Amino acid sequence: MRLHDSVDRFREALKRAVDEYSLKPVIKEQGVVESVEEGIAVISGLPNAMFYEVVRFSNNLKGIVIDIQEDKVTAVILEKEENVEINTPVYRTGYIVSVPVSDQLLGRIIDPLGKPLDGKPPVKTTVYYPVEREAPALFDRDFVKDQLYTGIKVIDCMFPIGKGQRELILGDPSTGKTSIAVDTIINQKDKDVICIYVSIGQRKQSVLDVYTTLKKYGAMDYTVIVSATSDSYPGLQFLSPYSGTAIAEYFLDKNKDVLIVYDDLTKHAFAYQSLSLLLKRPPGREAFPGDIFYIHSRLLERACKIKDGGSITALPVVETQAGRISSYIPTNVISITDGQIYLDSNLFNINQRPAVDVGRSVSRIGGKTQIPALKEVAEFLRLYYAQFLEVEIFTKLGVKVFGETAEIIRRGKRLRELLKQPKLKSYQVEEQVVIFFLLNEGYFDNIPEDQVNDRADFILKRIKTEHPEILKDIKISKVLTSQIKEKLKKLAEEI
């Protein structure tokens, strides 16, 4: 009897399962490869394909649609294409190219598609952000109010960068552009800033060097590296800054402050140039396609400060040749960004490092973000340094100078020495306030030029060990009060 009941129950469950099951047709739009060359596939038979849609080849390789014509589309192959041949079937996926995002990305090296490059398991997440996304609307943005400290004296004092600003770093090869970006990332430790380093077209060894340095100084705990190396396809190199920005927007949506470095947009422009020439698009100025300005502007416009929210601060890097900042890509990015830090090869060669050219560098909005103490001591530094460079020419010609001019030259030389700073050595804002206050008060005037930095470090060490309350007061109050000034003067006179 019990067996009969079990059979009846099983029969009823099976009948119910059959009734509930329905066969639904799965519609897939299929095309075929007409031609393939240098990572570019021309596909016919996909009339409804969308721009930036992911397509999948029959051998499971991925590509993205970057050109749509009446009877065919062109896709960039994102992986090795040895098995992609003419007449290979291609299928639409129906979704726009996206990158997986998660807090687990911190400390990882990934490619622009989110695949791990560090030998660790893939990031498990169900959240994907599209690499192409509209920039926040004007009414959603806020004024840039807070300074993002690089730890580099010449930048924080003379060319301050605000959270939400876009500040270009440009200069000839091997002038220290990447070093400034890496130092800035390291200086964000314990400042609640997420960092994204996007490597575009660099050698694998260069990416490894950056990773090793960041790991050594504990910066990988809050950093993501997105890498498309020089041996990657132009499609991946083109995609990499957009993928990095999508990851930055994930943290922005969590009300975080984010710093993103694009190293560098010159190689990104070359990758897009290669793609455009393969697509038979007409070349324009310097053989670049006509929309090269658009692809960089739509990227950098996504950096912003959100009302009552987080921010994305962008540091794009651009390479110049023989100091020609008037060439096409540098002028494009200069016109998009809110200022530039120009590194001069002549300054670099005479050991003035970081080799920031004060005359050709500018920050158009960062000055509004400086705390009152730093603004007070740095207000006239740029003007003073420019005057010094102007009158120093006369001394090189053998002209004797006296009075106020001699004073400008004496103090200007000390200022130039104080602006020198070795790599990976950062100065907090309160330390910079102390150094430049003492300079303005003339306490370095009688010290030999080559000993100025050592004396400044010695004074800071004494303050940290014997009078730490001075630095603490500046950090908390953000103001250089008369009491703090008197303490600093007294200490400097004792030393």
At 479, phi and psi to the nearest 5? -130, 145
Neighbours of 428 (CB within 10 A): 16
Question: Which pLDDT belongs to residue 112?
Answer: 93
Catalytic residue selected from 141, 281, 364, 462: 364
Q: Would strands 30-37 and 89-96 be described as parallel, antiparallel, or unpaired? A: antiparallel
State the DSSP string of 146-159: SEE--S-HHHHHHS
The answer to whether residue 108 scores a pLDDT higher than 90 is: yes
Q: Where are the domains of the chain?
A: 30-96, 100-369, 375-494
E strand or H helix that includes residue 270 = helix 265-278
DSSP state, 67?
A: E
Q: Is 364 a catalytic residue?
A: yes
List, for residues 348-378, the tens digit of each pLDDT value: 999 999 999 998 999 998 888 999 999 999 9
CATH of span 30-96: 2.40.30.20
List, for residues 218-254, the tens digit of each pLDDT value: 999 999 999 999 888 888 899 999 999 999 999 999 9
Question: Which pLDDT belongs to residue 29?
Answer: 82
Question: Which pLDDT belongs to residue 4?
Answer: 60
List, for residues 12-58, the tens digit of each pLDDT value: 777 777 777 666 666 678 889 998 888 889 999 888 899 999 999 88
pLDDT above 90 covers what percent of the chain?
Answer: 65
Question: Which pLDDT belongs to residue 1?
Answer: 47
* Fold type of domain 100-369: Rossmann fold (3.40.50)
* Fold type of domain 375-494: Lysin (1.20.150)
Q: Model pTM?
A: 0.91
Query: CA 117, CA 422: separation in Å to the nearest integer?
Result: 31
List, for residues 114-154, the tens digit of each pLDDT value: 999 998 999 999 999 999 889 999 899 999 999 999 999 99
The answer to whether residue 81 scores a pLDDT higher than 70 is: no
List, for residues 59-74, the tens digit of each pLDDT value: 788 899 999 988 899 9
Query: CA 442, CA 444: separation in Å to the nearest integer?
Result: 5
Mean pLDDT across the chain: 90
Contact present, 39 and 77 (Cβ < 8 Å): yes
- Structural tokens at position 219: 């910066």
> 490: which residues sit within 8 A by CB, 6+ positions away?
none
The answer to whether residue 3 scores a pLDDT higher than 60 is: no
> 78: which residues sit within 8 A by CB, 6+ positions away?
61, 62, 63, 64, 113, 233, 235, 236, 239
